Each structure stands twice: as C-alpha cells, then as structure tokens.
Amino acid sequence: MKIVSLVFSYLLVLGAVVMSAWGILGFFEYFTGTTLLIPLQNPEFPSGTQFLHWLLITAAGVTFLAGYFLRWKLLPFAMLVIYAMLATLCAVQTFDFITEGWGVGDFAREVAWYIIITTYLFKSQRMRERLNR
C-alpha cells in the first residue's frame, strides 16, 4: 500500500505541474488573445468567469506544488478551500453557461476527484509524514 500511496502522491505532483502550466497558458491567452498551443478560452463563459477559472486553476497547481515541496502542514486545508471554489465555479459553468461538450457526468467526476484527493491529503500516512502533521 505504501508504493501505491507514493505513486499517487507523485501523480498529484505531476497533475499540479499540468494545472499550473494550463492556468498560466490560459492567463496568457486571456490577456493577449494569442493561442500558444491550443485554444483555451471558452467563448461560452463571460470574461469575469473565464478570469476566475484561470485564477483558481493556477492557484490549485501552484498551491499544491509549493505546499508539497515546502512541506506545508496546512496544505490539505488550503486544497480543500481551493477545490470547494473550483467545484462551485464548475457547477456555475456546467449549469449556467456550457451548451455543448460538458455535462453533469463530467462535473460529477471532477467533484469526485476533488473529494478523493482531499481525503488522501488529510488521511494518508504518506501525506501526514510528508507534511509533518
């Protein structure tokens, strides 16, 4: 079980790197209108919603990486707050703005991942040791 926990923690670090890069690229496109890799802006979202989207994605990635590598004992609480905000924003996006390509099932899977990751951060022995809790 320790090896599974170790691998999962490394996958979370990789995911945080991806989220950070995605958020930074999203902000770049948001502010400049220039697409570097693939279009990231969703034309169905109002400008303020799109800004909040990139802010929370970037915050999730950067906060996790900083907390993980600095061994910040409050990381699970910080991620709980960020994931709650992301889930709320995702609900607004899913039910108020998106007309194609994203549905309730996708929303449910995203929220399930937030719950799984947060539970892991609070309950796993590996993260308790890593974060000196």
CA atoms of 32 and 30, how far apart (whole Å) = 6
pLDDT reported for residue 86? 97
Residues 6+ apart with CB under 8 A from 94: 102, 103, 104, 106, 107
More confident residue, 36 or 98: 36
Task: Return d(Cα 23, Cα 17) in angstroms, integer.
Answer: 10
What is the pTM for the complete model shown?
0.92
What are the domain boundaries of the chain?
2-130
List pLDDT tens digits, range 89-105.
Answer: 999 988 888 767 677 88
Whole-number percent of the chain with pLDDT over 90: 80
Token digits of residue 51: 């800004």
Question: Model confidence over 115-129: pLDDT tens digits?
Answer: 999 999 999 999 999
